[in-house]
């Protein structure tokens, strides 16, 4: 901002009644033109994978003839890996919901008896998988085929027809009730190698595998030699294959 010479400015100011220093006139803001509509963002094509994203938190009630493990015995810990990305496919499998696991009522009640027996030794159960919707088994098979891992199918690690779909099979391990930590079993759950074969462990790991097998066998569960964590409660007739999802 600039000011005129004082004498001349005073004369002009007295004559016009204006202030001694004035702001230069400002230009009016330009008129905004019409807003051009933006084209919508293109929608990405659907994924060809079976990743269902974050599973829903809501769960359904178990179908008739099945029971929720956590309802029958909340002390049995659950770590349902197939409801998360922490499994061999790297993505949640369809039909699962975190924090929920079903079994046939007969198998669930037998599992509660296992938990009660183990508590005398300050031990408990940690469940990784129980009833598995049929769609999840199909997703596993699809992943193995697309990933070029047919040896998992041929080797018996990924089954095209799984007793998990019947709800009478459970994957689990032992934990210390004092520390909450898993006992050393010689290999992690879902390790697809000979290290997971029941007879492959030694020392403390073998002792823990025997302890788990003894506790499960005492309640009628049968082991699977290729996976130390896998147990099935046989029945006659066998439960039907199901595809009910845990959530909507």
Active site residues: 227
Give dist(CA 218, CA 214) in Å, integer.
6
- Are the CB atoms for 247 and 135 separated by under 8 Å? no
Chain centre distance of CA 80: 7
In sequence order, the β-bridge partners of residue 78 are: 127
Q: Is 11 exposed, middle or buried (0-12, 13-18, 19+ CB in 10 A)?
A: exposed
Residue written as token pair 């929720």: 68
- Asked if 218 and 117 count as a contact pair (C-beta separation under 8 A), the reply is yes
First-to-last alpha carbon distance for the chain, in angstroms, is 70
67 near 130, Cβ under 8 Å?
Answer: no
- Distance in angstroms (rounded) separating the CA atoms of residues 47 and 142: 14
């Amino acid at each position: 901002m600039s000011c005129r010479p004082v004498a001349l400015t005073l004369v002009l100011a007295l004559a016009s009644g204006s202030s001694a220093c004035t702001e230069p006139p400002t230009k009016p803001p330009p008129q905004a033109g019409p807003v051009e509509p933006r084209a919508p963002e293109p929608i990405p094509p659907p994924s060809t994978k079976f990743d269902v994203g974050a599973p829903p938190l809501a769960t359904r009630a178990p179908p008739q003839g099945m029971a929720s493990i956590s309802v029958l015995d909340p002390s049995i810990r659950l770590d349902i890996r197939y409801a998360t990305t922490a499994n061999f496919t790297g993505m949640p499998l369809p039909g699962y919901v975190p924090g929920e696991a079903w079994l046939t009522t007969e198998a669930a009640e037998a599992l509660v008896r296992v938990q009660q027996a183990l508590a005398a030794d300050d031990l408990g159960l940690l469940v990784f998988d129980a009833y598995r919707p049929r769609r999840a088994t199909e997703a596993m098979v699809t992943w193995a085929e697309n990933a070029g891992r047919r040896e998992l199918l041929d080797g018996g690690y990924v089954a095209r027809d799984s007793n998990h779909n019947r709800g009478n099979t459970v994957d689990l391990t032992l934990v210390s009730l004092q520390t909450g930590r898993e006992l050393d079993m010689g290999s992690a759950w879902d390790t697809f190698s000979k290290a997971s074969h029941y007879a492959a462990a030694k020392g403390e790991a073998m002792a823990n595998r025997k302890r788990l097998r003894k506790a499960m066998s005492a309640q009628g569960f049968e082991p699977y030699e290729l996976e130390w964590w896998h147990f099935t409660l046989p029945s006659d007739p066998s439960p039907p294959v199901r595809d009910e999802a845990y959530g909507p």
